[in-house]
Structure 1
Amino acid sequence: MIAKRLFKTILAAFVLVALASCEIETSDNGDFDGFWHLERVDTLATGGTLDLSKKRVFWGVQYKLISVRDVDKDKQHGYYLRFKQTSDKIVTHTPYKDNWHQDQGDNGGDHPINDPKLLAPYGINNLEEEFVKEKLDGGQMILRSKTLRLKFKRF
């Protein structure tokens, strides 16, 4: 009986110490968090439209990262970007190439990129890009840069 109480006391103390020593980080991205299907890109200067609704181009947003991928072109690799968010804007920055080699069980290490053309298929034309939030709710997102308007649906 005493051994059982002692065990429970030690276990409770261990749990409290473990919880106190950890910082639990939570996302405060609101509706921006999630998996978004890029369905349309409008060019503001010309009024041109690119329909991507049948393509599998995605932005995945979680905590402090955006993962962009075109699953039709490359199922394994894409790019990661950090971002800053305010109530009316999102600024993407610090892009990296995802170099995970799943077939080899090897993480080749993510490498910074400095060619913004690599990000163009995802609606991002600069290494640091500012987007105005025209619409952002649980099911739809519309972002506008200086040159493009991106329309997404939550996937």
Structure 2
Amino acid sequence: MALAMAGCDFKEPVNSDIEGFWKLERFETRADGRMHECTRLYYSITRYVVEVSEKQGPNGYGTYIGRFGYEDGETKVVMKDFKQRAATSDNGVDATVEDLLPFGINSTETTFDVVVADGDNLVLRSDYATLQLTRF
């Protein structure tokens, strides 16, 4: 048993105030100052992967999985290379910008400034929008 446990390497979060399950409450587009209220939109963030999805929502936005990383000492995060989500992974089909817009993302590679990350609230700001998320 000890040998089996020694072989398992648990990957702790790089930053538990950022990584986890989040509900996208709203986002404000910077160009026009318009606030977009969100329902049933979620972010799942781990040290290397981000998933955005609409859970049981009426809009049919879908689920997308992408790469996630930190920059500048965890003051910035990057989300990129989104693909359509399949049953256990992605299906190899790239997500379009139009697919990602309902989630406050307007590019297939987006860098966000981390404005607030206190474990309960996460505020991310890109050149397109400021996202307000709460821990789910």
Please tell me the TM-score bracket, short chain as reference: 0.7 to 0.9
Match of 1:29 among 5, 15, 35: 15
Structure richer in helix, relative to its length: 1
SS in 1 for 2:17: helix
Q: Provide the C-alpha distance between the structure 2 equivalents of 1:59 and 1:150, rounded to a whole number of angstroms.
A: 11
For 1:124, the aligned partner's letter is I
When normalised by structure 2's length, the TM-score is 0.84
Note the 1:106-145 alignment, pairs <5 A: 110-113=91-94, 115-145=96-126
The question of 1:82 aligning with 2:73 is answered: no
Q: More deviation in 66-75 or 143-152?
A: 66-75
Instruction: Please report how far the alpha carbon of residue 62 of structure 1 lies from its aligned counterpart in structure 2 after TM superposition.
Output: 2.6
Residue 61 to residue 109, structure 1, CA distance change in 2 (3 Å): closer
**Which has the higher relative contact order, 1 or 2, with Cα contacts under 8 A spaced 6 or more apart?**
2
> Any conservation in 1 of the 2:123–2:130 contact (CA below 8 Å)?
yes
Please, what is the CA RMSD of the aligned residues? 2.1
Show structure 1 runs of 4+ deviating over 2 A.
15-27, 107-110
Residue 27 to residue 138, structure 1, CA distance change in 2 (3 Å): closer
Aligned partner of 1:6 in structure 2 is none
Larger of the two Rg values belongs to structure: 1
Q: Provide the C-alpha distance between the structure 2 equivalents of 1:146 and 1:112, rounded to a whole number of angstroms.
A: 26
Residue 115 to residue 143, structure 1, CA distance change in 2 (3 Å): same
Aligned partner of 1:66 in structure 2 is 50
Q: Provide the C-alpha distance between the structure 2 equivalents of 1:85 and 1:78, rounded to a whole number of angstroms.
A: 22
